Chains A and B, each alone.
Chain A
Amino acid sequence: MINGNLKASYAADERVLNNTYKQTFVYGMMLALALFAGFANDYMILIACKMGILLIAVVGVNILTGYTGLVSLGHGAFVAIGAYSVTMLENGLTGIVPESLTIFVVLPLAVAITAVVGVFVGLPSLRVKGLYLAVATLAANFIVIFLIEQDAFAPWTGGVVGINTHDANILGWVLDTNREMFVLIAVVAFVSLLAAQNLIRTRVGRAFIAIRDRDYSAEILGISLLRYKLTSFALSAAYCGLAGAMFAYFYSRILPEQFELDLSLELVAALIVGGMGRTMGPVFGVMIIVMMPEVIKVFAAYFTGGDAASARYIAPLQEIAFGLLLVFFLLKEPLGINHITDRILRAANRWPFARG
């Protein structure tokens, strides 16, 4: 039984991980990930890499939708911009910057470019919100993909047929297997998550939350809506750009159609399922959203014996399950899985006294 978290100073209360549970959890996770990288089989590594990439992007969406309360159905476009920026920059810098150092130039630049685009896409948020913003961002997603596909830009973007990407090369260490990429993705995702947790306790993070709770009230309190809404868009886009960069390094070729509306909706759905406005929300959400189709596929293969004729029901079933999951959480558990785990942890914490 634990009664509470003793804090002897304000400094202790203001730390990123402000209690021992959180610290233990974070160190435990680091160890678990290290073991995973070493021992998991290829299939699990593959799935984990996909989760990691998606997780970075969902953390970005969480900043915008979960903390600042702005809806976006266009974050797939930012992932696209991150992925294409990295690839185009790598192509452009070949021979100028030594290969083993390229990533240190390319990655920050790609993230910065995405952040700038994020500010532009965020401009309508100053005039519209809610539904109108959702449709404006959705429109922006269509337009970004359309521009990437244009023949006029094809020499740089590859156009509709896509473009081959580079392997990540960190100081001469070429990450050309999934397992090596997992190490990079896991580290980046872990740091992103910690950075997001840190962001929320800062002045900027608190401003975001004030805007989410009531934007006009926040403005009256002296929070500049212009500045913070655009900051939120920029940060959130930057995370998605980072996810895009990982995407480009992980896959050998990228296509514009990989970043269409489906991806944007998947990001938001993962956030809703996991829990909006909570640090661990994206983690739970991404796990469910990535695992669910796999589990359905494996179960279906198990029960039908891998019969090709019945394989055609798998994709529709995955689609229906995705929709049901989204609807279920919105109607029955709007705060997401994070809320469920909260309740469990609280009950465990107070056991054997008050429950729930």
Chain B
Amino acid sequence: MGQFTQFAINGLMSGAIYALIAVGIVSVYKATKVVNFAHGYLIMFGAYFYFTFSVIVPGQSWAPDWLASWQPAWLLEMREGLPMFSPMGAVLDWVQNVPRILLGIAGALVCNAIVGRIIERTLMRPLMGQSIFAMIMVTVGLISIMSGAASIIWTADADFVPHIAPNAPIRFELFGTMIFLFGADLVNMIVALLIFAGIVLMVRYTKSGVAIRATAEDQSTAYSMGISVPKVFSRAWVLASTTGAIAGAILATRNGISPSLGLFGFSVLAIVLMGGLDSYIGVFLAAMAVGVMEALTQWRMGGDWAEIVPYVAVLLILLIRPHGLFGSKEVERI
């Protein structure tokens, strides 16, 4: 039972990150009706930008020393005599990294937003009104372009990036089993959930959110009501790429930075279809459910089984409910 709780919590933590990734796919779909197969690669770009601004830039000779490692007097004083790997030590390590973490996140957000805009302008806008097949395949082409570009720009130097939050270990006993949690993972989960909630509220209550929903309802009507549909498109892409940047930064700290981060896009796509393409609630539930199922599979059956959990789940759901758990049914006319 204790072990079960351990892995269920682990699952919820990765589920929250799935939800954060999924929110980008759903937002773009709602606004533009494009399902972005390349969203995972947008995340990978976010991770690499975070790496660039939190590791490469502070490591340059022209960068000020405090950027790479901030060591005010009080911090050095507190570190005196602390044993290695103590929870307090982890927090202090983090404090020392705060400047470059902030720079990293800011850089990732800005650069990814620019990348998102570029993609939207060059590839997506000409696609308006094209078939679904063409849209899917353009994003598939985008996958190759982005992963090739990433391996040219950042070469191969797999490096380590600083955690966004203090990575103090949390240990407590439950049902007679020791439960181990990483502090950073908990904070990541909270950050992901807050962003998810923020976006849902934004789409529901703000003016630009209403514009997105109106465009989702009917593009030409929205156009004629004075909503600038191209603006909605680019907003949706910026939203997707910035949430992707955060997700990328989190994944980079969790899983290490590598081109394989792009593959997350496919399992999250499966999650999105399970929940229903245009339903934030459905996608959230599906993300959490898949996160927990994956962690439990990982626990009972091992890593390779966990990898196909989202795909088996989406196949089953699609056979029972073709438009996902909460997706709205498309009405077709002949």
- Decide whether A and B are members of one complex: yes
Contact residues of A with B, CB < 8 Å?
A: 65, 71, 73, 123-124, 127-128, 130-132, 134-136, 138-140, 142-143, 146, 149, 214, 216-217, 220, 261, 265, 268-269, 272, 312-313, 315-320, 322-327, 330-331, 334
Complex: how many Å from CA A226 to CA B307?
32
> A331–B126 contact, CB under 8 A?
yes
Question: CB-nearest residue of chain A relative to B155?
Answer: A312
> B311–A319 contact, CB under 8 A?
no
What's the nearest-Cβ distance from chain A to residue B105, in Å?
27
User: Other than the known A142-B308, A315-B148, A327-B142, what 9 A-B pairs have Cβ atoms closer than 8 Å?
Assistant: A135-B314, A139-B314, A143-B312, A146-B304, A269-B137, A316-B151, A319-B147, A323-B142, A327-B145
> B315–A143 contact, CB under 8 A?
yes
What's the nearest-Cβ distance from chain A to residue B183, in Å?
33
What's the nearest-Cβ distance from chain B to residue A50, in Å?
19
Q: Could you say which of A135, A216, A322, A327 contacts B138, with CB atoms under 8 Å apart?
A: A327
**Interface with A: B75-83, B247-255, B316-324, which one?**
B316-324
Question: CB-nearest residue of chain A relative to B305?
Answer: A146
- Interface status of B202 (Cβ within 8 A of chain A): no
Complex: how many Å from CA A105 to CA B167?
61
Collect the chain B residues with CB atoms within 8 Å of residue A327's CB: 123, 138, 141-142, 145
Collect the chain B residues with CB atoms within 8 Å of residue A130's CB: 132-133
Instruction: List 20 A–B pairs whose Cβ atoms lie within 8 Å, in order of A's numbering.
Output: A71-B133, A123-B319, A127-B322, A131-B136, A132-B273, A135-B269, A135-B273, A135-B314, A136-B315, A139-B315, A143-B308, A146-B308, A269-B140, A272-B137, A312-B156, A318-B148, A323-B143, A323-B146, A326-B138, A330-B127
CB neighbors of A among B298-334 (8 A) = 304, 307-308, 310-312, 314-315, 318-319, 322-323, 332, 334
Q: Could you say which of B127, B145, B273 contacts A331, with CB atoms under 8 Å apart?
A: B127
Question: CB-nearest residue of chain A relative to B34?
Answer: A131
Question: CB-nearest residue of chain A relative to B311?
Answer: A139
> A216–B332 contact, CB under 8 A?
yes
> B147–A331 contact, CB under 8 A?
no
> A128–B318 contact, CB under 8 A?
yes
Grouping DSSP codes into helix (H, G, I), strand (E, B) and loop, the A interface class, with mixed when no group exceeds half, is helix
What's the nearest-Cβ distance from chain A to residue B225, in Å?
27
What's the nearest-Cβ distance from chain A to residue B268, in Å?
11
What's the nearest-Cβ distance from chain A to residue B132, in Å?
4
Collect the chain A residues with CB atoms within 8 Å of residue B307's CB: 142, 146
> B127–A71 contact, CB under 8 A?
no
With A139-B312, A320-B145, A331-B123 in contact, do A127 and B319 touch (Cβ < 8 Å)? Answer: yes
> A134–B266 contact, CB under 8 A?
no
> A136–B314 contact, CB under 8 A?
yes
- Interface status of B158 (Cβ within 8 A of chain A): no
- Interface status of B152 (Cβ within 8 A of chain A): yes
With A124-B319, A136-B314, A146-B304 in contact, do A317 and B148 touch (Cβ < 8 Å)? Answer: yes
Complex: how many Å from CA A71 to CA B302?
32
CB neighbors of A among B142-164 (8 A) = 142-149, 151-152, 155-156
- Interface Cβ pair total, 8 Å cutoff: 126
Contact residues of B with A, CB < 8 Å?
A: 35, 123, 126-127, 130, 132-134, 136-138, 140-149, 151-152, 155-156, 266, 269-270, 273, 277, 304, 307-308, 310-312, 314-315, 318-319, 322-323, 332, 334
What's the nearest-Cβ distance from chain B to residue A277, in Å?
12
Q: Could you say which of B152, B269, B318 contacts A316, with CB atoms under 8 Å apart?
A: B152
> B334–A216 contact, CB under 8 A?
yes
What's the nearest-Cβ distance from chain B to residue A111, in Å?
25
Collect the chain B residues with CB atoms within 8 Å of residue A139's CB: 270, 310-312, 314-315
Collect the chain A residues with CB atoms within 8 Å of residue B138's CB: 326-327, 330-331
Complex: how many Å from CA A73 to CA B315?
14
> B148–A316 contact, CB under 8 A?
yes
Collect the chain A residues with CB atoms within 8 Å of residue B146's CB: 323
Complex: how many Å from CA A216 to CA B142?
32
> A315–B332 contact, CB under 8 A?
no
What's the nearest-Cβ distance from chain B to residue A68, in Å?
12
Complex: how many Å from CA A326 to CA B314?
27
Question: CB-nearest residue of chain A relative to B277?
Answer: A131
> A132–B142 contact, CB under 8 A?
no
What's the nearest-Cβ distance from chain A to residue B31, in Å?
16
What's the nearest-Cβ distance from chain B to residue A128, in Å?
5
What's the nearest-Cβ distance from chain B to residue A233, in Å?
15
Collect the chain A residues with CB atoms within 8 Å of residue B35's CB: 131
What's the nearest-Cβ distance from chain B to residue A66, in Å?
11
> B314–A320 contact, CB under 8 A?
no
> A131–B266 contact, CB under 8 A?
no
Question: CB-nearest residue of chain A relative to B266?
Answer: A138
> B318–A124 contact, CB under 8 A?
yes
Complex: how many Å from CA A317 to CA B152?
8
With A139-B312, A316-B151, A320-B148 in contact, do A326 and B141 touch (Cβ < 8 Å)? Answer: yes
> B319–A142 contact, CB under 8 A?
no
Complex: how many Å from CA A326 to CA B146?
13
- The winner among B127, B144, B155, B319 for most chain A CB atoms within 10 A is B144
- The winner among B137, B151, B273, B334 for most chain A CB atoms within 10 A is B137
